A and B are shown apart, each in its own frame.
Chain A
Amino acid sequence: MSEAVIALRGVRAELGARPVLRGIDLTVRRGEVVALLGANGSGKSTAVRSVIGQVPVSAGEIELFGIPRARFRDWRRVGYVPQRTTAASGVPATVTEVVSSGRLSRARFGMLRKADHAAVRRALELVGMADRAKDSVDALSGGQHQRVLIARALAAEPELLIMDEPMAGVDLASQEVLAHTLAEQVAQGTTVLLVLHELGPVEPLIDRAVVLRDGCVLHDGPPPQAVGQHALPGHDHVHPHAPAGAEPIRTGLLS
């Protein structure tokens, strides 16, 4: 088995007094594409944010590239795509300016050299946004904005990509571009951990799915198989002939 790029063992985390993670184990090995699935509030975003040190954990161990996270400093190996927020910053910025900040982990003293600028351009080409390089990010659609955030993560040429709901609020055309970009990264050997609400167009890329419910790992294995509408996570089977007020029959895995 190849080395573990991300390893969580018995990780617990609380938000206030409420436990969000109740001791989860999660391993992502080199070259793997792992989807973290679960309903809203299941703890999947918290799990990912604990990996990058944004959420304090109360128990358990987290390792990145075999190094305890608290001592991990080699952030250039990690590309992070946060959940897209609609809140714009207070000052306009171009697509290039935003993507360039992703390259800072490789730059010395914040100075970008020729090679760094080239990497930024390459990242923009990868997500098909090179023609919008000089536009303000405020002028972009939700899907285009998401592509910029992915280019920002790719600018550092990371070995590990961590993405929090990259498909949320993204139009179908951009979803296809994102799936294609991701496929290219995977083909080059990049390890990927994705938080997803539904598998969608990236489904063929996923090696393994980890499903969380109420802060516990419910399933760790091949992506849940289902067909058509029923494949959607959290899909409730409400049958028209069921008695009124009956509890919907849930698929169990994700709802």
Chain B
Amino acid sequence: MEILDYAFVQRALLAAVLVGITAPAVGIYLVQRRQALMGDGLGHVAMTGVGLGVLLNASPVWMATAVSVLGAVLMELIRWYGRTRGDIALAMLFYGGMACGVMFINLAPTGSNANLTSYLFGSLSTVSQSDVTAICLLAGFVVLVTLGLRRQLFAVSQDEEFARVTGLPVRALNLLTAVTAAVTVTVAMRVVGLLLVSALMVVPVAAAQQLTRSFAATFAIAVAIGVTVTIGGTVTSYYQDVPPGATIVLLTIGAFLALTALAAPLARRRARALAAARPAGDPAECVIPAGRGADGPVGV
């Protein structure tokens, strides 16, 4: 495999695998609590961090992490206290974050719009050694949280009120979910890009659901899909010279469509198996007992 001879491809592939694991691992909890678009919002907020990094000549990845974590905390606070006007406040946070990012990059002496595009849509050649270190550390944190606290996060995302009555620290867990999502956004930023991050959090989970009945299986299959499409997309991007972020997202949607097509025959087979397991005295169709036919007396 000559593709692996290039150090920049090795770095990009490692980053891609980590994105493929972490994005669906966090995304499943966001989908479960019906906040599928939270990743998109955090991606917008992270732009301010990238802009600050370029402007201050600091690492854009760490800056983006700091700013999007701050944004995630703000989002959770808005959710607690915002009530009715919460969505407007979130809109201002998201688009304000995007606008600040664009402004900072343009103010920076080294900044240019070409630079911006690589953060928005991902780029293979720009993943530096220090980026890989940061991505590895952040991905480690995400895996630790999403796997280690899976039962608590499942309970809170499934039924917040019940979780509170079991004594779980619901607010802390919500905050942790938001922060973990923010960290994932910056893990994925280099490879997939900030505008497409959310797709990799949501679509693999939606695709896996077509086949599964349990949370655990959905988690495993979503991560498997995530890793497959990020590796596939990165390799395709290298050979065909197409943007990696767009390739990965299109592959993910392709996987969703393929699994949806597969799901219908699978559901039929399950239904047949269930019918076969039905006890003899429990027919699937309506049976009108003798003497209770259309011409018989109707008693209530």
Which residues does A use to contact B, with CB under 8 Å? 52-54, 73-76, 78, 80, 82, 89-94, 97-98, 100-102, 104-105, 107, 110, 112, 134-136, 139, 152, 156
Asked if B165 contacts A101 (CB within 8 A), the reply is: no
Contacts of A156 in B (CB 8 A): 166
Instruction: Give the distance to chain A from B183, nearest Cβ to Cβ, in Å.
Output: 20
Asked if B33 is at the interface (CB within 8 A of a chain A CB), the reply is yes
Asked if A76 contacts B167 (CB within 8 A), the reply is: yes
Asked if B166 contacts A105 (CB within 8 A), the reply is: yes
Which residues does B use to contact A, with CB under 8 Å? 28, 31-34, 36, 149-152, 154-155, 157-159, 161-168, 205, 209, 212-216, 218
Instruction: Give the distance to chain A from B12, nearest Cβ to Cβ, in Å.
Output: 30
Given A54-B161, A91-B205, A97 contacting B214 (CB threshold 8 A): yes
| Residue of B32, B152, B159, B205 ringed by the most chain A CB atoms within 10 A | B159
Asked if B158 contacts A98 (CB within 8 A), the reply is: yes
Asked if B33 contacts A136 (CB within 8 A), the reply is: no
Partner of A101 from B33, B149, B155, B213 at Cβ < 8 Å:
B155
Partner of A75 from B154, B158, B166, B213 at Cβ < 8 Å:
B166
Given A89-B32, A89-B158, A110-B151, A80 contacting B165 (CB threshold 8 A): yes
Complex Cα gap A156–B167 (Å)? 12
Complex Cα gap A187–B212 (Å)? 39
CB closest chain-A residue, reference B36: A90
- Give 8 CB contacts A-B under 8 Å: A76-B166, A80-B162, A90-B32, A91-B215, A97-B215, A97-B216, A101-B151, A104-B166
Chief secondary structure at chain B's binding surface:
helix
Asked if A136 contacts B214 (CB within 8 A), the reply is: yes
Chief secondary structure at chain A's binding surface:
loop
Contacts of A97 in B (CB 8 A): 154, 214-216
Complex Cα gap A136–B158 (Å)? 13
Number of A-B contacts (CB under 8 A): 89
Complex Cα gap A139–B271 (Å)? 11
Given A134-B213, A134-B214, A135-B213, A93 contacting B165 (CB threshold 8 A): no
Complex Cα gap A78–B165 (Å)? 8
Asked if B157 contacts A89 (CB within 8 A), the reply is: yes
User: What are the 9 closest A-B residue pairs judged by CB atoms, nearest first?
Assistant: A75-B167, A101-B155, A136-B213, A105-B166, A80-B165, A110-B151, A91-B32, A90-B31, A94-B214
Known A89-B157, A92-B209; 4 more pairs at CB < 8 Å: A97-B215, A101-B166, A110-B151, A139-B213
Partner of B212 from A82, A92, A100, A107 at Cβ < 8 Å:
A92
Complex Cα gap A192–B224 (Å)? 45
Instruction: Give the distance to chain A from B161, nearest Cβ to Cβ, in Å.
Output: 6
Partner of A110 from B149, B161, B215, B218 at Cβ < 8 Å:
B149
Asked if A82 contacts B166 (CB within 8 A), the reply is: no
Contacts of A136 in B (CB 8 A): 213-214
Contacts of B154 in A (CB 8 A): 93, 97, 101
Asked if A91 contacts B218 (CB within 8 A), the reply is: yes
Instruction: Give the distance to chain A from B262, nearest Cβ to Cβ, in Å.
Output: 16
Instruction: Give the distance to chain B from A137, nearest Cβ to Cβ, in Å.
Output: 9
Complex Cα gap A76–B163 (Å)? 12
CB closest chain-B residue, reference A75: B167
Given A91-B205, A101-B151, A73 contacting B214 (CB threshold 8 A): no
Asked if B157 contacts A104 (CB within 8 A), the reply is: no
CB closest chain-A residue, reference B31: A90
Complex Cα gap A48–B206 (Å)? 36
Asked if A101 contacts B158 (CB within 8 A), the reply is: yes
Instruction: Give the distance to chain A from B168, nearest Cβ to Cβ, in Å.
Output: 6
CB closest chain-A residue, reference B150: A110
| Residue of B34, B150, B151 ringed by the most chain A CB atoms within 10 A | B151
Asked if A93 contacts B158 (CB within 8 A), the reply is: yes
Asked if B151 contacts A112 (CB within 8 A), the reply is: yes
Complex Cα gap A78–B162 (Å)? 11
Given A82-B161, A98-B158, A93 contacting B215 (CB threshold 8 A): yes
Asked if A75 contacts B165 (CB within 8 A), the reply is: yes
